[in-house]
Amino acid sequence: MTLRIWGRANSINVQKVLWACGELGLAFERIDAGGAFGIVDSPEYKSMNPNGIVPAIDDDGFVLWESNAITRYLAAKHGAGTLWPTDLRVRADADRWMDWQCTEYSPRMRLAFWNLVRTPKEKQDPAAIEESRAGSEAMTAILDAALAGRTFIAGDNFTMGDIAIGVAVHRWLNLPLRREARPALEAYYARIMARPAAAKVLSSPIT
Ligand SMILES: N[C@@H](CCC(=O)N[C@@H](CS)C(=O)NCC(=O)O)C(=O)O
């Protein structure tokens, strides 16, 4: 066993790495870390990931953090032609949506998630939830339009881009809040969740 993954399984960013491993058929060892598991503030962990967050991997001595970078690395190493598109433009398309998930989509969803899922009702901030909901809805409209007429986010085939987008869509569609109907997005979600590797990682309620 040469691939080790640090991170609690309910983290959206750890889920990307686990899902990628599932798609690629990779064996790995996962060490629970972050949240109630701690570990991330230890000097040992910080020497590996100075940010003190999850995920991080050690692949036969090569340490890497940042979930999308890890997903790209595993895809490039083991998934050329599948998760890692060999066509430059298809790969750039997948790459673009991964960056968009990380910099535009998930940040807008964060406060709704934290308030509705991780904060007791009496301490929730309704204004923050609404601002986050509205911002996420606007981003979801962009994604829904992009998915209309596409099977997967970068075209006809499932790629690494669908992993980053997929975990975010999973979170959005499972938040207990009001959402616009998004037919293309909902059909896409059903397609990706039909994949055994996705179902395995995303089957539990969001926590
Ligand atoms: N940009 C980083 C963000 C990682 C991140 O925010 N991780 C969260 C969990 S999703 C974390 O470690 N939180 C602290 C903790 O769990 O203790 C990535 O994509 O890997």
Name the token pair of 120.
């007791």
**What separation in Å is there between the alpha carbon of 1 and the centre of ligand 1?**
24
Contact predicate 175/19, CB 8 Å: no
Give CA–CA dist 148/157, Å, rounded.
Answer: 15
Contact predicate 150/162, CB 8 Å: no
Q: What is the pTM of this model?
A: 0.98
Query: Is the shortest distance between the CB of 74 and ligand 1 below 6 Å?
Result: no
Give CA–CA dist 200/167, Å, rounded.
Answer: 12
Name the token pair of 76.
């490039």
- Residue type at 53 in one-letter notation: I
- Residue type at 2 in one-letter notation: T
pLDDT digits (tens, 9 = 90+) for 105-120: 999 999 999 999 999 9
pLDDT digits (tens, 9 = 90+) for 191-200: 999 999 999 9
Report which protein residue has its CA nearest ligand 1's atom 16. Answer: 34
Query: Is the shortest distance between the CB of 109 and ligand 1 below 6 Å?
Result: no
Q: How many CB atoms lie within 10 A of CB 36?
A: 6
Name the token pair of 172.
């959005």
Name the token pair of 1.
């066993």
pLDDT digits (tens, 9 = 90+) for 124-173: 999 999 999 999 999 999 999 999 999 999 999 999 999 999 999 999 99
pLDDT digits (tens, 9 = 90+) for 17-28: 999 999 999 999
Quickly tell me which residue has 């066509």 as its tokens.
Answer: 87
**What separation in Å is there between the alpha carbon of 13 and the centre of ligand 1?**
6
Quickly tell me which residue has 């959402």 as its tokens.
Answer: 179
Beta bridge partners of 185: none
Name the token pair of 59.
């692949």
Mean pLDDT of the chain: 97
Give CA–CA dist 56/164, Å, rounded.
Answer: 16
Query: Is the shortest distance between the CB of 160 and ligand 1 below 6 Å?
Result: no
Name the token pair of 165.
């987008």
Beta bridge partners of 4: 29, 58
**What separation in Å is there between the alpha carbon of 52 and the centre of ligand 1?**
8
Q: Angle at which helices 88-100 and 160-174 pack, to 10 degrees?
A: 30
Ramachandran quadrant class, 46 (left: phi over 0; alpha: psi -120 to 50; beta: rest): alpha
